[in-house]
A = this chain, B = another copy of it.
Amino acid sequence: MAIRKPTITDVARTAGVSKGLVSFALNDKPGVSPETRKRILEVAGDLGWRPSLSARSLSTRTSFALGLVIRRKAEVISADPFFPAFIAGVESALTEEGRALVLSVVPDAEAELRTYRTLAGDNRVDGVFLTDLRENDERFAVLADLGLPAVALGHPTGRDDMPFVQVDDTHGIASAVEHLVSLGHSRIAHVAGDPMMMHGGRRRSSFDEAMREAGLDPSLVIDTDFSASNGADATKRLLDNSHPPTAIVYANDPMAIAGLGVAQQRGLRVPADLSITGFDGTDISGYVFPALTTITSDPVEWGMVAARTLLELIGSGSAESVELPPASLLIRASTGPAPSDSGHHAAHR
């Protein structure tokens, strides 16, 4: 005889009550006396009853799962150290709630929207995280249409109907610029991220602002797609300039590491000839030579808080947005005093 998993009926029978009452006890609903509830829960425990997720899903239209849809080309996904850490944070908040995370990695916009529709249509998730916010993001309309609760990572500009969890990264970029200015740099460039992504755009505009405040020319900016390859190319273009920068602020660590590689290949000493800052504080950034000055945030914490916020939104219908501690500058060895003769780099080897 196969070992049949106990059902609510078994619990009801051995506890001598109706199935309905077991359900009430399970869900902490009013209408069942404390003693009865206690007895029911005991019996359930003895029998090893685990209420069936599918059955609960069918009657409550709840999936007890959260969704994360990541739109990245497969070749690039590994370069981004953010998601694994973010997901680890999300998990830490979900496990204790008995929820699961459904993850989708999609290559393009069309697949992305289709995935949200499928996730909602299949009742696969009760809510989703919205990452990589873009300007005029089509996803807001789709999610509203689907009635799918969502929490945004970062502040969706021009929308106050969706709770968000934000890390202020403008502060980090500003302090990187200030740090470089205090070291005597005046020609500072920015290898920006994707301008279509809000956090890319925001880092860029805070660079712009910080440079203006220092009375410096903020025009040395190159947009990228956040990939190491783009970071290397941008660095080459900047260094090919007739009047090249003495410092480069990168929008993420992989690009900064690629930039470091380009500089070294050209025989430039970092930081003697060129100062470099990254963004994210990835593990590896501390082990390249010279160790990268970077701007650190805490993606694990971010994931945990985002998950809690989404659960709150799903449970109660509304949730407060959260502002996490701002990203902060971690000064290591890749930044130093501006070269005295800032117009001419050391000759290439």
Chain B residue, CB-CB nearest to A100:
B102
Chain B residue, CB-CB nearest to A87:
B105
Cα of A82 to Cα of B74 in the assembled complex, Å: 11
Q: A1 contacts the other chain (Cβ, under 8 Å)? A: no
Q: A189 contacts the other chain (Cβ, under 8 Å)? A: no
A102 and B58 contacting across the interface, CB-CB below 8 Å: no
Cα of A61 to Cα of B53 in the assembled complex, Å: 10
A104 and B123 contacting across the interface, CB-CB below 8 Å: no
Instruction: For A119, list chain B residues within 8 Å (CB).
Output: 100
Known: A101-B104, A124-B100, A287-B258. A95 touches B80 (CB 8 A): no
Instruction: For A111, list chain B residues within 8 Å (CB).
Output: 95
> A175-196 interface mask toward B, CB cutoff 8 Å, 1 = contact, 0 = none?
0000000000000000000000
Instruction: For A219, list chain B residues within 8 Å (CB).
Output: none
Q: Point out the residue from B89, B124, B232 that lies within 8 Å of A74, measured CB to CB.
A: B89
Instruction: For A287, list chain B residues within 8 Å (CB).
Output: 228-229, 231-232, 254, 257-258, 261-262
> A86-123 interface mask toward B, CB cutoff 8 Å, 1 = contact, 0 = none?
01110110010010111111100001000100110111
Instruction: For A80, list chain B residues within 8 Å (CB).
Output: 84
B57 and A54 contacting across the interface, CB-CB below 8 Å: yes
Cα of A92 to Cα of B85 in the assembled complex, Å: 22
Cβ of A210 to closest chain B Cβ, rounded Å: 27
Known: A121-B50, A260-B289. A74 touches B79 (CB 8 A): no
- 26 chain-A/chain-B pairs, Cβ below 8 angstroms: A50-B121, A52-B58, A53-B123, A54-B58, A72-B88, A74-B88, A75-B300, A77-B84, A77-B87, A77-B88, A78-B84, A78-B282, A79-B284, A84-B84, A87-B103, A91-B105, A95-B106, A100-B124, A228-B284, A229-B283, A254-B284, A262-B287, A262-B289, A263-B289, A264-B289, A288-B288
Q: A265 contacts the other chain (Cβ, under 8 Å)? A: yes
Q: A140 contacts the other chain (Cβ, under 8 Å)? A: no
B81 and A78 contacting across the interface, CB-CB below 8 Å: yes
Q: A76 contacts the other chain (Cβ, under 8 Å)? A: yes
A residues bordering B, Cβ < 8 Å? 5, 50, 52-55, 57-58, 61, 63, 65, 72, 74-85, 87-89, 91-92, 95, 98, 100-106, 111, 115, 118-119, 121-124, 227-229, 231-232, 254, 257-258, 260-265, 282-284, 286-291, 299-300
Cα of A288 to Cα of B282 in the assembled complex, Å: 15
Chain B residue, CB-CB nearest to A81:
B78
Cβ of A265 to closest chain B Cβ, rounded Å: 5
Chain B residue, CB-CB nearest to A304:
B74
Cβ of A175 to closest chain B Cβ, rounded Å: 23
Q: Point out the residue from B50, B77, B100, B260 that lies within 8 Å of A104, measured CB to CB.
A: B100
Instruction: For A95, list chain B residues within 8 Å (CB).
Output: 104, 106, 111, 115
Instruction: For A57, list chain B residues within 8 Å (CB).
Output: 54, 57-58
